[in-house]
């Protein structure tokens, strides 16, 4: 894993799975939109530093206040963040 986009993708998927959030709910909580989060998770978009800050801040405020996430944390490789991701359905 040597590409920062791949690392970001892996970390976003990991945290969404950890907190059982769909891309839509995750985007809402971090102040983004579904398309943008989907493109980040699929390595199709380069995030700006400002957006990484916004995602990290949104995760800290709206997902888990104990995280103390920073933009640089989103780009750190952690082999334990690999996921076998299943689709999360929130509509009932």
pLDDT in tens, 3-19: 899 999 999 999 999 99
Tell me the CA distances in angstroms from 83 to 2, 42, 54, 77, one per residue in order: 17, 14, 23, 13
The model's pTM? 0.85
pLDDT in tens, 29-63: 999 999 999 999 999 999 999 999 999 999 999 99
The rounded distance, in Å, linking the Cα atoms of 18 and 13 is: 8
Phi-psi region of 16 (alpha: psi -120 to 50; beta: other; left: phi over 0): alpha
The rounded distance, in Å, linking the Cα atoms of 18 and 30 is: 15
Sign of the CA dihedral 22, 24, 27, 33?
positive
Q: Name residue, tokens 């999360």.
A: 88
In this structure, what token pair is assigned to residue 84? 């076998």
């Amino acid at each position: 894993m040597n590409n920062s986009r791949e690392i970001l993708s892996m970390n976003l998927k990991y945290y969404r799975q950890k907190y059982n959030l769909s891309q839509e709910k995750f985007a809402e909580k971090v102040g983004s939109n579904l398309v943008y989060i989907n493109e980040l998770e699929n390595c199709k978009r380069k995030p700006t530093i400002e957006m990484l800050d916004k995602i990290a801040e949104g995760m800290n405020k709206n997902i888990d206040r104990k995280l103390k996430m920073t933009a640089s944390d989103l780009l750190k490789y952690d082999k334990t963040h690999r996921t076998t991701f299943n689709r999360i359905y929130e509509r009932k």
